[in-house]
Amino acid sequence: MANQTLEQIENRRTFAIISHPDAGKTTITEKLLLVGQVIQTAGAVKGKGNQAKAKSDWMEIEKQRGISVTTSAMQFPYNNCMVNLLDTPGHEDFSEDTYRTLTAVDSALMVIDATKGVEERTIKLMEVTRLRSTPILTFMNKLDRDIRDPLELLDEVEDILKIKCAPITWPIGSGKFFKGVYNLAGDYAIMYKSGQGSKIQDVVRIDGIDNPELIQTIGEDFHQQLKDELELVQGASNEFDPQEFLEGKLTPVFFGTALGNFGVDHMLDYLTTYAPAPQPRQTLEGEVKATDPEFSGFIFKIQANMDPKHRDRVAFMRIVSGKYTRGMKVTQHRIGKDITINDALTFLAGDRTNAEEAYAGDIIGIHNHGTIQIGDAFSTFKEPVKFTGIPNFAPELFKRIRLKDPLKMKQLLKGLIQLSEEGSVQVFRPLINNDLIVGAIGVLQFDVVVNRLKNEYNVEAIYEPVNVVTARWVDCDDAKKLEEFKRKCEGNLALDGAENLTYIAPNMVNLNLTQEKYPDIRFFSTREH
Ligand code: G4P
């Protein structure tokens, strides 16, 4: 591989933000775009008060700021690195997309509202990052408000999320008295100025804890308190260990305020210095390294294009190895077909442009006319390759969907199968009747489906309750036993959008009893694409 290509790959940092709704993900994203110089000024990106939250935060940024960001990936240069930030929809439209996006990153930033601490969605998302031991950085946000005791916050992260904390910076006060942070390893303070939320802050740095300038700036009382705290925290917490960070066992912690535009760059400095370059990905056939000379990648997300009239969808590919160049011929392994990619999109500095080239770690968008599915692998080599670990999760909510006009069954089925290919909902067809059951992880998905069926497929559908609470994909090595199971449990079996056999249970007791009764049948709560 050419040195220049190697260097480009080594410089890639691909990450996503995980957080509980309202912790500040959107605000931090905006500040990252500011320091990455994708946008020149930051402002309020959201409607106030009760205004409904946008379907995607990034779409909303786009709308309100009049800039061209895409809703899925964003690339910007920082500190001699090329940073790829992937959007994880985290609000009401929370879905499997979020999980799968996390399979496409090499590290993640966990944002915690420091007035609240560890919240439920964060716990769930951290579990997902654990599946691949993703390195995690932590940003304690909202220091301009009265936060909880910072030591207690670190304890909570360690206890609940089972990851060691290494504070890199330490807050000097909070709320009205937020003065800045002290960098523990570097032994210097960075002072905070309020009212600078929309532009890059001037950095006022004061070296050394006993520096008279620091005492003068924050006052003697604060200074003594800071000294006491630093002594305590240095005794009680972990030092940053790059290796443990890379193994996902320890997280560097930063304090700041996204709204006040303070501290986000401290985190980004660490991310570009210590977060891993593009990592290898597992395949059924072995491991593919980022620096392998041949190009390869997998699809982790499919998104309807902004223009619903052209049912044109973009498939987002994480490049796993090598380099993409425009006009490259690759094999799409699921269908064993060669295609030429002429018009892949890249997302540098917020512009959707047709890429001339892209490297391992980058995300490219490929126009999909219905032939690409989530999990599809592409490569310039011919030997079959299938990346593992891109899961479908068993839905948690179910509804029967019914047509207003029964003659449109074909369109309905087509729409549902295409929407399930995108991966945000799943569709189940029971073996014993003609029902269509929609399963989702988030409740908003149901509305999205009905709206999109109407707008994109011209089908009016309504929901009815259905007596299903959970689904499991089933499998068995013994064909005879599987047949018997199918016969006996036909009333609870369905096919999903990709024709996989699924057990749909009316309640958990039923599921447990069935599992006990058929010990040779395997029940999966996730299905790999
Ligand atoms: P999310 O994407 O994780 O849901 O969070 P988002 O950035 O939308 O932030 C949620 C709320 O928290 C917003 O207020 C936002 O302004 C506020 N916020 C984010 N960072 C900080 C911070 O550092 N300090 C303080 N004090 N607030 C912060 P909102 O009232 O919901 O929206 P808006 O009316 O301010 O637009």
Q: What is the CATH number of the domain that holds 480?
A: 3.30.70.3280
Residue nearest to atom 14 of ligand 1 (CA): 22
Looking at the domain assignment, is residue 389 inside a domain?
A: no
Q: Is 55 in the same domain as 199?
A: yes
Looking at the domain assignment, is residue 348 inside a domain?
A: yes
Report how many domains make up the chain. 3
So what's the pLDDT on residue 147? 97
Does the Cβ of 44 fall within 6 Å of ligand 1? yes
Looking at the domain assignment, is residue 82 inside a domain?
A: no
Residue nearest to atom 17 of ligand 1 (CA): 24
Q: Is 297 in the same domain as 268?
A: no
Task: Report the alpha-carbon distance of residue 71 to residue 58 in Å, rounded.
Answer: 5
Strand order through the sheet with 522-524? 461-464, 397-403, 437-440, 426-430, 493-496, 501-505, 470-475, 522-524
Q: Is 105 in the same domain as 239?
A: yes
So what's the pLDDT on residue 322? 97
Does the Cβ of 27 fall within 6 Å of ligand 1? yes
Task: Tell which atom from ligand 1 comes closest to the C-alpha of 49.
Answer: 34
Q: Is 312 in the same domain as 264?
A: no
| Owning domain of residue 343 | 281-379
So what's the pLDDT on residue 380? 97
Q: Which of 335, 352, 379 is the last residue of a domain?
A: 379
Q: Is 49 in the same domain as 98?
A: yes
Q: Is 93 in the same domain as 191?
A: yes
Strand order through the sheet with 345-346? 337-341, 328-332, 377-379, 296-304, 313-321, 363-368, 345-346, 353-354
Does the Cβ of 445 fall within 6 Å of ligand 1? no
Centre of ligand 1 to C-alpha 46, Å, is 9
Centre of ligand 1 to C-alpha 30, Å, is 11
Q: Is 163 in the same domain as 311?
A: no
Centre of ligand 1 to C-alpha 146, Å, is 15
Q: Is 179 in the same domain as 31?
A: yes
Centre of ligand 1 to C-alpha 379, Å, is 42
So what's the pLDDT on residue 445? 77
Looking at the domain assignment, is residue 384 inside a domain?
A: no
Centre of ligand 1 to C-alpha 27, Å, is 6
Residue type, 329: K
Looking at the domain assignment, is residue 349 inside a domain?
A: yes
Q: Which residue from 388, 399, 430, 391 is spatially nearest to 524, judged by alpha carbons?
A: 391
Q: Which residue from 132, 158, 167, 379 is spatially nearest to 276, judged by alpha carbons?
A: 132
Task: Tell which atom from ligand 1 comes closest to the C-alpha of 23.
Answer: 3
Does the Cβ of 115 fall within 6 Å of ligand 1? no
Annotated ligand binding at 517? The verdict is no
Does the Cβ of 119 fall within 6 Å of ligand 1? no
Q: Is 297 in the same domain as 349?
A: yes
Q: Which residue from 471, 387, 389, 377 is spatially nearest to 425, judged by alpha carbons?
A: 471
Residue 405 CA, chain-centre distance (Å), reads 38
Q: Is 361 in the same domain as 299?
A: yes
Centre of ligand 1 to C-alpha 442, Å, is 22
Does the Cβ of 46 fall within 6 Å of ligand 1? yes
Residue nearest to atom 9 of ligand 1 (CA): 24
Strand, helix or coil at 505? strand
Q: Which of 354, 379, 404 is the last residue of a domain?
A: 379
Q: Is 303 in the same domain as 447?
A: no
Ranges of the chain whose pLDDT falls below 70: 38-71, 89-96, 304-312, 349-353, 424, 528-529
Looking at the domain assignment, is residue 84 inside a domain?
A: no
Does the Cβ of 34 fall within 6 Å of ligand 1? no
Task: Report the alpha-carbon distance of residue 456 to residue 454 in Å, rounded.
Answer: 6
Q: Is 263 in the same domain as 406?
A: no
Does the Cβ of 259 fall within 6 Å of ligand 1? yes
Centre of ligand 1 to C-alpha 35, Å, is 18
Task: Report the alpha-carbon distance of residue 200 to residue 48 in Å, rounded.
Answer: 24
Mutate to test the pocket of ligand 1, among 18, 28, 46, 113 (most ligand atoms within 8 A of CB): 46
Centre of ligand 1 to C-alpha 297, Å, is 35
CATH code: domain of residue 297: 3.40.50.300
Looking at the domain assignment, is residue 512 inside a domain?
A: yes
Looking at the domain assignment, is residue 516 inside a domain?
A: yes
So what's the pLDDT on residue 200? 75
Q: What is the pLDDT of residues 17-43, one digit of tens each?
A: 999 989 999 899 889 988 887 666 555
Does the Cβ of 53 fall within 6 Å of ligand 1? no
So what's the pLDDT on residue 47? 38
Annotated ligand binding at 87? The verdict is yes
Q: Which of 234, 255, 274 is the last residue of a domain?
A: 274
So what's the pLDDT on residue 108? 97
